[in-house]
Chain A
Amino acid sequence: MIPELGQFAIALALALALMQGSIPLVGAHRGDSRLMALAKPLAQAQFALLVLAFAALAWSFLTHDFSVKNVAQNSFSQLPAVYRFTATWGSHEGSLLLWTVILAGWSAAVAVFSRQLPEEMVARVLGVMGLISVGFLALLLLTSSPFERLFPIPADGRDLNPLLQDLGMVSHPPLLYMGYVGFSVAFAFAIAALLSGRLDAAWARWSRPWTTTAWTFLTLGVGLGSWWAYRELGWGGWWFWDPTENASLMPWLAGTALIHALAATEKRGVFGNWSVLLAIATFSLSLLGTFLVRSGVLSSVHAFATDPTRGLFILIFLGLVVGGSLTLYALRAPRMMGGGSFGWFSRESLLLANNVFLIAALGAVLLGTLYPLFLDALGLGKISVGPPYFNAVFVPLVAPVLFLVGVGPLARWKQADLPDLMWRLKGAFAVALVTAALLPLTLDGMNLQVTLGVFLALWILFTVLKGFALRLQHHRGSRVRQLARLPRAFWGMQLAHAGLALLVVGVTIVSNYETERDVRMPIGSHLELAGHRFVFQGVEELPGPNYLAGRGTMDVTTPWGRSFTLYPEKRNYNASGMIMTQAAVNYGPFRDVYVSLGDPLGDGAWTVRVYHKPFVGWLWAGTLLLALGGGLAAADRRYRVALRRRSDPAPAPEPLRSITREGVA
């Protein structure tokens, strides 16, 4: 009964989405307030229905309703409750349902927080989001019903993929989807701008907090995915350039370019067209990521070809979104170029350069991800594009962006003074360069990769500090109070940039100075690695809730005499018989120690892999700081001021539109 209720709720939500995707758009076109006013209640009702459907599925999982095919395939009587809940989005069907719930959630949020927007704008934004919802709900109902029943009812389920039974996995997909789907708001704002012809600084200000919020979630999602892979896949890698990872990196790169372009659009009214194009690209890349991960095209093009319904559906939808929005762009965009002039060296030109390199890097990732698929699909042979390719093309394209991070925020809008800026930054440049050149010499000899990475990280950190100093130099009084009074947008930008520096440090150091040993360890034997001493105490059997573990005991003593014990496991899952390696990690601010069990050798001896990973934690600390920065920037006062002004009877300034229209490009 409950599953049918869920199915019914989805069908009803689709009906509402069809209305939301049509009536308000017609209303906005005709200027009919009654039709436009339907957008908000429709979005909110749709959200309520989809939450209900999601709850129905979660209920089926929690109560072991194995008559539901989805539950039977992805749960197990012994599966702990927390993973039964997360299994709700562990399958293809469940994760699509989560996608639609989150989309409806963003729509409902737009409906609630948009009271200062003109009604036409709200109607168009929610209308576009309704259309996106139609596509995904139809996909869900027609090809991937999460509530399909099974007869005869199996006695037990087949268990959730053990890889997904991990706390990182509990929050990774929801955060990632919050990001992916959040960009649908930016997309909807872009389409609404094209439809209405309103593409000015006010538009940028409205869409900017939404875009930054979505970017923040995506940042967390990508970071958490990387952390999950680090802990769960057993060899301590944190980025594999796997197509599924690239699928989340591509919208992130486009979204990063977008939030920087929007900054210029809001402040100076320039790059409006480009911002719209980027918003379309970012959301399209989110859809592309969904297609790549959900269609099965990655495991093999032929697997996709044998069961193409789902993939084809998403592909057609993607085609409609990209084709439709680009057509609209071609028809409407050229008429609306606005903004003023700026010099060859200015904040605007630097943001432009940032976008050039970010988009080139995005293009490289896109090319590397899709190229083998195309060759295979065209029958031109199978090739692999892996880390050597991506590292070779991605790093040179991103390094200039990192250098610009140090310059851009200090340059003035419109026209900046290059000699003056060079003079101000010469100290930071010199200290960063000399430190970075000397550091590898004190470790194990010259290393240009380390020098580049450390230089860029220090350069960013120094210039971030410089940014604060310049902000405070004309103020007198308490420094602390002055710092607290700086706008959140400024704090957000600086923290995010500092996070980037930490991330670069982590990546550079761990890639170059990581050490590992692959050894045979009889009981009681010891091993030295990077000053740490490891003593192996053997492996004992330990039953888990739905698996049987061999749990190893490894006593570790650090170079500073501190001791702790690590318990790496080798798990055999009862339902699937899958063997999983559960690495044990000791986290530290300057290094992680990572132990993973290999195979038994008899007499209690095992092969063991031990890793010393210096500074790897900075990677995720940097990611958190990036997200914190994004969150602060999205919560800047000027957006909330705009919110509070909703009681203002005057609608948004209509005549301004004519200015932007007539503005010379």
Chain B
Amino acid sequence: MSCRLRLLVLAVFLLPVLGAASLPATPNTDDPALEARLNHLAEDLRCVVCQNESLAESRASLALDLREEIREMMRAGLTDDAVVESLVARYGDFVLYRPPVKPLTYVLWGGPLAFLLIGIALALATLHRRRTLRPQADVSPEALREAARLLRSDHSRHPGSPIASGTASRLSHQEER
């Protein structure tokens, strides 16, 4: 569809709507900039009486009151940090969804990195061991015979089917998958 045609179709569809419609919806606030700032801040704050909801999501009455209070503080010229500070003074760190970094939370913030480093260390140790491993482990003769028997029966019954045991596949050619 050409661009012009599309516009035409759009206009035909919109005309009745435009004709009937009226006033535009008004933002649910007198100060959209302030509201945006509030919402941005409130997303990382906990509604302290709710089960687990942020101040931005919650419609509990305390959350509504608290949001109004934050608006007041913002109108009074407080910075975001100052607003948060005053909330922490009242409700403690519980109100912060992003826990502050302090001795009590060192383990919380450092833990994930520590897990990763431990994991990498263990993985490197494993890799080192596996690389220096002799390519073939010592296998008793009767086990070898058993594996060979299995391989044969496996192939005769199901040509091309994967081999039943990793040990057996180690003894055979390298499997591609």
Contacts and interface: CB of A to CB of B under 8 A. Distances in A.
A387 B165 contact: no
Nearest to B39: A518
Nearest to A385: B99
Interface in B43-79: 43-44, 46, 51-52, 54, 57
Interface residues of A, number: 99
Given A267-B175, A664-B134, A533 B17 contact: yes
Contacts of A367: 107-108, 111-112
B135 A371 contact: no
A302 interface: no
Interface in B87-127: 92-99, 104-105, 107-109, 111-112, 115-116, 119-120, 122-123, 126-127
Contacts of B174: 413-414
Contact of B130 (A348, A356, A364, A525): A348
Contacts of B157: 645
B47 to A, nearest CB: 10
Contact of B147 (A237, A340, A518, A656): A656
Contacts of B143: 655-656, 658-659
Given A267-B177, A385-B97, A527-B25, A341 B134 contact: yes
B3 interface: no
Contact of B112 (A205, A363, A520, A658): A363
A480 interface: no
A622 interface: no
B138 interface: yes
Contacts of A477: none
Interface in A618-646: 637-638, 641-642, 645
B142 interface: yes
A397 B116 contact: yes
Contacts of A204: 166
A148 interface: no
- Best-buried of A299, A383, A414, A656 by chain B (most CB within 10 Å): A383
A353 B123 contact: yes
B107 A371 contact: yes
A349 B167 contact: no
Given A267-B169, A527-B24, A608-B25, A386 B108 contact: no
B105 A526 contact: no
Contacts of B177: 267, 413, 487, 489-490
Interface in A133-177: none
B170 interface: yes
Contact of B120 (A342, A356, A387): A356
Contacts, number: 250
Contact of B123 (A356, A517, A638, A665): A356
B108 A535 contact: no
A349 B29 CA distance: 56
A265 interface: yes
B95 A384 contact: yes
B33 interface: no
Contacts of B26: 519-520, 525
Interface string B143-169: 100110010000001100110111111
Contacts of A386: 44, 46, 52, 54, 97-98
Contact of A520 (B21, B28, B134, B161): B28
A525 B22 contact: yes
Nearest to A392: B98
Interface string A343-354: 110001100110
A420 to B, nearest CB: 15
Nearest to A340: B170
Nearest to A489: B177
Interface stretch (A374-382, A439-447, A542-550): A374-382
B13 A557 contact: yes
Given A348-B130, A363-B115, A525-B23, A380 B167 contact: no
Contacts of A521: 25
A87 B26 CA distance: 42
Contacts of B135: 340-341
A383 to B, nearest CB: 5
A525 B108 contact: no
A360 B112 contact: yes
Contacts of B81: none
Interface in A524-548: 524-528, 533-536
Contacts of B147: 653, 656, 659
B148 to A, nearest CB: 11
Interface in A386-416: 386-389, 392-393, 397, 412-414
B166 A385 contact: no
Nearest to A237: B57
A665 to B, nearest CB: 7
Contacts of A10: none
Interface string A476-507: 00000000000101100000000000000000
B5 to A, nearest CB: 11
B33 to A, nearest CB: 14
Contacts of A352: 123, 126-127
A20 interface: no
A536 B25 contact: yes
- Best-buried of B14, B116, B142 by chain A (most CB within 10 Å): B116
Nearest to B174: A414
Interface string A580-623: 00000000000000000010000000011000000000000000
B165 A658 contact: no
A25 interface: no
12 contacts: A269-B169, A340-B135, A348-B130, A355-B123, A382-B93, A386-B44, A389-B99, A524-B21, A533-B14, A536-B25, A563-B13, A663-B137
Given A381-B93, A655-B146, 10 more contacts: A200-B165, A363-B112, A368-B108, A386-B98, A527-B25, A653-B147, A656-B168, A659-B140, A659-B147, A659-B167
Which 3 pairs of residues, A with B, have the shortest CB-CB distance? A201-B166, A386-B97, A269-B166
Interface of A: 200-202, 204-205, 235, 237, 240, 242-243, 265-270, 298-299, 338-344, 348-349, 352-353, 355-357, 359-361, 363-364, 367-368, 371, 375, 380-389, 392-393, 397, 412-414, 487, 489-490, 517-522, 524-528, 533-536, 555, 557, 559-561, 563, 598, 607-608, 637-638, 641-642, 645, 653, 655-656, 658-660, 662-665
Interface of B: 9-10, 12-14, 17, 20-29, 35, 43-44, 46, 51-52, 54, 57, 92-99, 104-105, 107-109, 111-112, 115-116, 119-120, 122-123, 126-127, 129-140, 142-143, 146-147, 150, 157-158, 161-162, 164-170, 174-177
